Amino acid sequence: MTGKTLYDKIWDDHVVHTEEDGSTLIYIDRHLIHEVTSPQAFEGLRLSGRRPWRTEANLAVADHNVPTTERECGISDPISRLQIETLDANCEEFGITEFRMSDRRQGIVHVVGAEQGASLPGMTIVCGDSHTSTHGAFGALAFGIGTSEVEHVLATQCLVQRKARNMRVVADGVLHHGLTAKDLILAIIGRIGTAGGTGCTIEFAGSTIRSLSMEGRMTVCNMAIEAGARAGLIAVDAATIDYLKERPFVPKGALWERAVAAWERLCSDETSLFDKTITLAASDIRPQVTWGTSPEMVLPIDASIPDPSRMLDPVQRASAQRALDYMGLRAGTPLEDVSVDKVFIGSCTNGRIEDLRAAAEMVRGRKRAANVKQALVVPGSGLVKEQAEREGLDRVFREAGFEWRDPGCSMCLAMNADKLEPGERCASTSNRNFEGRQGYGGRTHLVSPAMAAAAGVYGHFVDVTDL
């Protein structure tokens, strides 16, 4: 008999109603809210006279627009300020728990949700943000939605969905010293492309995945969307349970014991079938650097910028040429010869404590290179910031000439004051290298925290496994 995949199990547990054509009403256990994609949804509720179906399923935090300096002075941009005040007012009106900008628990919604234990195994978790896939690291079905669906979840605690296909990415073996979950997921995206997981939920499996910490697993699932998959998943194991124990939103006492027993079945059955399986060997992976304007345009650090004229597919050739023109790069240039103007360490991909530790290790006792104008370190949450300061990481960064900031999305998408100027090149631990993503005309290279920190110290990309 064919067994069920992890995705099948969570899906089946959440079906409320199925139409003949397969369109299914599924129940949503957790709804995370931020200021950018929610105001129109709350307005919709008000206009139709509806109330949230289950208030306590919601958790809100402002992250995209928040300043990362001089917070006590408030937000100087009046449009950003209005958006955050609107979130505060909406949460107050509808009784939704919110960590406000002044709260020590405030931070990037996907960092906060996980560290609070608000993302539990077996849950369905949604947020008006594509990087909701992050929470799949806990064996939860977590995916990003649009604002109409934010309103739909608020009003009904459900969403109308069609089941995706099952895809599995199996990574086996040991990553070389100095390599991280970020290199692994970038290598996966390089292999399958930014549309490789479209229409699928990707389960990440194999010994390499199992050996990752929960933070590393979050980095992998976070970028499932960059491979086209709305959701990425990893089976529950002892690391999942250890991470969750005693976090604020996690069940306690006898309920905890009961929950753990139920969570232990959250893995794919050995007899389950996947529509698509990709395998890769961890030992083949080198530190990854993106060279273009799509996350699939990625190469190992010892490679050179590719030559579009050698590409056979005309659409791919045109995309690569446009990317090189935008990035100001010449075919054949070794990646290690590419110098950077700025460094950004943070985001929902790489803004957790292990990321900051890896970056700090690289800059300890060193100085920011003369050609690097600015190196920003932005913790993923207030609690990550406190932890880093207890470990003295803030001093390590400051002494090296890196700026230590307050938590938020910051230069990952540059909605606040942290941004690239036209033509500036950035080594970034974020998730998207799209044109203009980090600022109008800005040029983004996606890398791991250690690789970004090393670029800040050497002034150009270097192979951290050589250091």
Partner 1 sequence: MKAFTEITARVVPLDRANVDTDAIIPKQFLKSIRRAGFGPYLFDEWRYLDRGEPEMDCSQRPLNPDFVLNHPRYKGAQILLARENFGCGSSREHAPWALDDYGFRAIIAPSFADIFFNNCFKNGLLPIVLDASIVDNLFRSAVPGVDLTINLAQQTVTTPDGNQIPFQIDPSRKHRLLHGLDDIGLTLQCADAIRAYEQRRRREVPWLFPGSETAH
Subset of 166-195 contacting partner 1 (CB under 8 A): 194-195
State which residue, 143 or 404, has the beta carbon closest to partner 1.
143
427 contacts partner 1 (rule: CB under 8 A)? no
Taking residue 417's Cβ as centre, other Cβ atoms within 10 Å add up to 15
Smallest distance from the beta carbon of 3 to partner 1, in angstroms?
21
Q: Report the candidate in 24, 82, 88 with the shortest Cα–Cα distance to residue 61.
A: 88
Work out the angle between the directed axes of helices 353-363 and 449-458 (0-180°, nearest 10).
30
241 contacts partner 1 (rule: CB under 8 A)? no
Question: Which residue among 9, 135, 182, 230 contacts partner 1 (CB under 8 A)?
Answer: 230
27 contacts partner 1 (rule: CB under 8 A)? yes
Residue 329's contacts (CB-CB under 8 Å, 6 or more residues apart) are 291, 305, 338
- Can you tell me which residue has the tokens 């650097």? 289
Taking residue 110's Cβ as centre, other Cβ atoms within 10 Å add up to 33
String of contacts with partner 1 for each residue 320-359, x by CB under 8 A: --x-------------------------------------
Give the span between the Cα atoms of 367 and 405, in whole angstroms.
Answer: 18
Interface with partner 1 by CB under 8 A: which range of 1-9, 168-176, 233-241, 256-264?
A: 256-264
String of contacts with partner 1 for each residue 267-296, x by CB under 8 A: ---------------------------x--
- Can you tell me which residue has the tokens 């995209």? 64
Q: Are 104 and 382 in contact (CB under 8 A)?
A: yes
Largest CA distance in the chain: 64
265 contacts partner 1 (rule: CB under 8 A)? no
Question: Which residue among 88, 247, 395, 434 contacts partner 1 (CB under 8 A)?
Answer: 434
151 contacts partner 1 (rule: CB under 8 A)? yes
415 contacts partner 1 (rule: CB under 8 A)? yes
Interface with partner 1 by CB under 8 A: which range of 46-54, 298-306, 361-369, 384-392?
A: 46-54
Interface with partner 1 by CB under 8 A: which range of 108-116, 175-183, 385-393, 409-417?
A: 409-417
3-class SS shares of the chain: helix, strand, coil, % to 5: 40, 20, 45
State which residue, 37 or 350, has the beta carbon closest to partner 1.
37
Give the span between the Cα atoms of 8 and 125, in whole angstroms.
Answer: 15
Residue 438's contacts (CB-CB under 8 Å, 6 or more residues apart) are 344, 411, 412, 413, 414, 419, 420, 426, 428, 430, 444
259 contacts partner 1 (rule: CB under 8 A)? yes
3-class SS of residue 283: helix
Near partner 1 in 197-216, by CB under 8 A:
198-199
104 contacts partner 1 (rule: CB under 8 A)? no
160 contacts partner 1 (rule: CB under 8 A)? yes
State which residue, 5 or 132, has the beta carbon closest to partner 1.
132
String of contacts with partner 1 for each residue 295-324, x by CB under 8 A: --------------------xx-xx--x--
Give the span between the Cα atoms of 39 and 48, in whole angstroms.
Answer: 14
Q: 237 vs 118, 121, 357, CA distance in Å?
A: 18, 10, 24
Interface with partner 1 by CB under 8 A: which range of 66-74, 172-180, 264-272, 432-440?
A: 432-440
Q: Report the candidate in 247, 255, 171, 181 with the shortest Cα–Cα distance to residue 215.
A: 181
Q: Report the candidate in 412, 430, 421 with the shortest Cα–Cα distance to residue 64.
A: 412
46 contacts partner 1 (rule: CB under 8 A)? no
Smallest distance from the beta carbon of 154 to partner 1, in angstroms?
9
State which residue, 59 or 360, has the beta carbon closest to partner 1.
59
**Rounded CA Rg of the chain:** 21
2 contacts partner 1 (rule: CB under 8 A)? no
